[in-house]
Chains A and B, each alone.
Chain A
């Protein structure tokens, strides 16, 4: 199929860009996990296949080792845009962001940190709490999703989300980059789905796949309920922290090194 060719081509392009980055990338800290496992990136242990437990048993989560994440690498964001048709209008006021790279500069001085931000798929999602029409819901596997067939575009969820994880479709978007996945009409709110359509097929999210393949291997995705999964092993070995855990929303995305 021609669209498949285009997709793999895009991914190859992303890989080529990331390849040059790896050469210049400076790893500021040695990750404890890396030391423990003898230098092999823990993310690489994960294959692109997922073990899908029976319904209601899984609780998908993500750990991002931002010691590995470098400034220039955009593998995850590019892969996400391609996979999910996330629109880029060239106007930062309206661009959609399902996953975005940010730079953290410590106010008291020190090295900069780079990390991707995405929907944290909270166990207690305030966006779902405030949605008047129950368009936002939590799937049986813990993924917080928006039913765009039902969203009325009131944008209350964007007000309630403390992570700025949601964007509104301000304009009509252009063509599909991935025709297997729907794009969206203007007037609805959208956000990261953990690539639920891929998970249902037993694949890992596009950003994680891209990070493993052409990025730094900084993202680990897996089942938080499965004690044998790479992500649970990692969390047990390394101190991780969610963003704004003080709000008590119990995010399923956590970071090391912030």
Chain B
């Protein structure tokens, strides 16, 4: 290794790159901005549960709906649409933020 100092500096720069990318601590960490529904104040479950688990609730209940024909279930994608009327201002915000691409909307209509 000819120039250890230069190499070390380069490595350090590489490791620190995310910090520079993020604006060196001047900015606040970005978070998704959601448009909350106007016709209701509470979701079917507490917001924290929904944030972490909405996909599991929907996935679990879809088996009951599709296979048992039980359409009275609490968690249905059609149910979401009753309050969250603009997908682009609610669902998509977090999905884009976290780089998640759900398949639901390929088939299910959510405005």
Residues of A near B62 (CB, < 8 A) are 149
Please report the number of residue pairs spanning A and B whose Cβ atoms sit closer than 8 angstroms: 38
The verdict on B106 contacting chain A, using a C-beta distance below 8 Å, is yes
What is the interface size of chain A, counting residues whose CB is below 8 A from a CB of the partner? 22
Residues of A near B108 (CB, < 8 A) are 182
* Interface pick from A104-112, A139-147, A240-248: A139-147
The verdict on A176 contacting chain B, using a C-beta distance below 8 Å, is yes
B66-84 vs A, Cβ < 8 Å mask (1 yes, 0 no): 1111110000001000000
A189-220 vs B, Cβ < 8 Å mask (1 yes, 0 no): 00000001101110000000000000000000
Residues of A near B109 (CB, < 8 A) are 176, 179-180, 182-183
Check if A185 sits within 8 Å of B106, measured CB to CB: yes
Check if A140 sits within 8 Å of B78, measured CB to CB: no
Main secondary structure of the interface of B (DSSP, over half): helix
Check if A185 sits within 8 Å of B107, measured CB to CB: yes
Residues of B near A143 (CB, < 8 A) are 69
Q: How large is the interface on B (under 10, 10 to 19, 20 to 34, 35 or more residues)?
A: 10 to 19
Closest CB in chain A relative to B68 CB, distance in Å: 7
Check if B107 sits within 8 Å of A140, measured CB to CB: no
Main secondary structure of the interface of A (DSSP, over half): loop
Closest CB in chain B relative to A108 CB, distance in Å: 45
Closest CB in chain A relative to B58 CB, distance in Å: 10
Distance in angstroms between the alpha carbons of A183 and B106 in the assembled complex: 8
The verdict on B42 contacting chain A, using a C-beta distance below 8 Å, is no
* Nearest B residue to A182, CB-CB: B107
The verdict on A113 contacting chain B, using a C-beta distance below 8 Å, is no
Closest CB in chain B relative to A57 CB, distance in Å: 13
9 chain-A/chain-B pairs, Cβ below 8 angstroms:
A140-B68, A143-B69, A145-B67, A147-B66, A148-B107, A149-B62, A176-B109, A183-B109, A184-B106
Interface pairs A-B: 6 shortest CB-CB: A182-B107, A179-B109, A185-B106, A182-B108, A200-B71, A200-B69
Report B's interface with A, CB cutoff 8 A.
62-63, 66-71, 78, 103, 106-109
